[in-house]
């Protein structure tokens, strides 16, 4: 098929690929962006849907991967009937959902997952190097953000939330999921690679020559267990029967 590819996905996508069931009938990727992970996950499913709020990313995804059904939707309002999917992936999405909606987003994911279905979810972990998160630069260090980017930080810049394993386990339990496996990984190497990548993109553009090396560093870092000090967290959870 034209949307299949042989190269394995990077870091969290690679780990999620390993944890997905070997074959499912219907799969949903929540927060798919331009489909860079969806295209891999789709190889495990008979039918694949993917949603995101960014219409430009979805337009690019539709052109690149016509075998996947891409739709505009937020995680807190999924346009599918109950128990529609055997597996759902949601990689580094929950931390971007507004504070008032992150429990609603998990409830929606639960609603569209059949009992016994799998949820593969990743978030930043609240560990030793949480403060190094480059996505929180505008939120936590507006002065440094102004010096590095030449623009003034927005007073409404959202926090890129980090979760502990216990916190996320409780949130998932309230939504009807039981955590089956957890992987806490990376220390400072992962955020450091993100910082270097952001600087390289600014200097040389998105196809800069360090991309391959930084990708391999993130792969190694994501695969390295670091326990409660970790920077990244991935969970495989199972949808429990109602009642």
Q: What is the pLDDT of residues 205-217, one digit of tens each?
A: 888 888 888 889 9
| 60 within domain boundaries | yes
> How many C-alpha atoms does 116 have within 13 Å on its Cβ side?
1
Averaged confidence pLDDT in the chain: 89
Q: What is the pLDDT of residues 35-64, one digit of tens each?
A: 999 999 999 999 999 999 999 999 999 999
Q: What is the pLDDT of residues 144-177, one digit of tens each?
A: 666 666 666 676 667 889 999 999 999 999 999 9
| 57 within domain boundaries | yes
| 48 within domain boundaries | yes
| 201 within domain boundaries | no
Tokens 């870091």 map to which residue? 11
Round to whole Å and give the CA distance between 185 and 172.
Answer: 20
Q: How many domains does the chain have?
A: 1
Q: Which long-range contacts (CB under 8 A, 24 or more apart) does 167-174 make?
A: 167/126, 168/121, 168/123, 168/233, 168/235, 169/235, 171/102, 171/103, 171/106, 172/106, 172/119, 172/121, 172/235, 172/237, 174/103, 174/106
Q: Which helix (H) or strand (E) element contains residue 88? A: strand 85-91
| 105 within domain boundaries | yes
What pTM was estimated for this model as a whole? 0.90
Round to whole Å and give the CA distance between 41 and 52.
Answer: 16
The arrangement of strands across the sheet holding 177-185 comes to 69-72, 45-52, 24-30, 85-91, 113-124, 232-239, 177-185
| 179 within domain boundaries | yes
Round to whole Å and give the CA distance between 18 and 235.
Answer: 12
In this prediction, residues 67-94 reach a mean pLDDT of 96
Q: pLDDT at residue 4 above 70?
A: no
Higher-confidence residue: 134 or 69?
Answer: 69
| 62 within domain boundaries | yes
| 147 within domain boundaries | no
CATH of the domain at 83: 3.40.50.150
Q: What is the pLDDT of residues 82-141, one digit of tens each?
A: 999 999 999 999 998 887 788 999 999 999 999 999 999 999 999 999 988 888 876 777
Q: Which domain holds residue 58?
A: 1-125+162-187+227-243
């Amino acid at each position: 098929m034209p949307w299949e590819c042989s190269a394995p996905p990077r870091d969290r996508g690679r780990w999620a690929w390993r944890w997905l069931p070997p074959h499912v009938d219907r799969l949903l990727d929540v927060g798919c962006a331009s489909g860079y992970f969806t295209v891999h996950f789709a190889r495990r499913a008979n039918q694949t849907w993917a949603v995101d709020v960014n219409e430009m990313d979805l337009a690019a995804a539709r052109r690149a991967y016509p075998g996947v059904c891409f739709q505009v939707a937020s995680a807190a309002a999924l346009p599918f009937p109950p128990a529609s999917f055997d597996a759902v992936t949601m990689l580094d999405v929950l931390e971007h959902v507004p504070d008032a909606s992150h429990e609603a987003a998990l409830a929606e994911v639960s609603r569209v997952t059949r009992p016994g279905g799998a949820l593969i979810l990743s978030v930043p972990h609240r560990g030793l190097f949480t403060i190094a998160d480059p996505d929180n630069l505008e939120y936590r260090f507006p002065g440094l953000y102004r010096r590095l980017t030449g623009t003034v930080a927005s007073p409404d810049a959202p926090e890129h939330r980090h979760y502990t394993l216990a916190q996320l386990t409780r949130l998932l339990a309230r939504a009807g999921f039981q955590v089956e496996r957890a992987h806490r990984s990376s220390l400072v190497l992962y955020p450091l690679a993100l910082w270097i990548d952001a600087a390289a993109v600014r200097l040389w553009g998105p196809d800069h020559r360090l991309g391959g090396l930084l990708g391999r560093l993130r792969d190694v870092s994501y695969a390295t267990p670091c326990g409660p000090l970790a920077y990244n967290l991935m969970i495989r959870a199972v949808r429990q029967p109602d009642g």
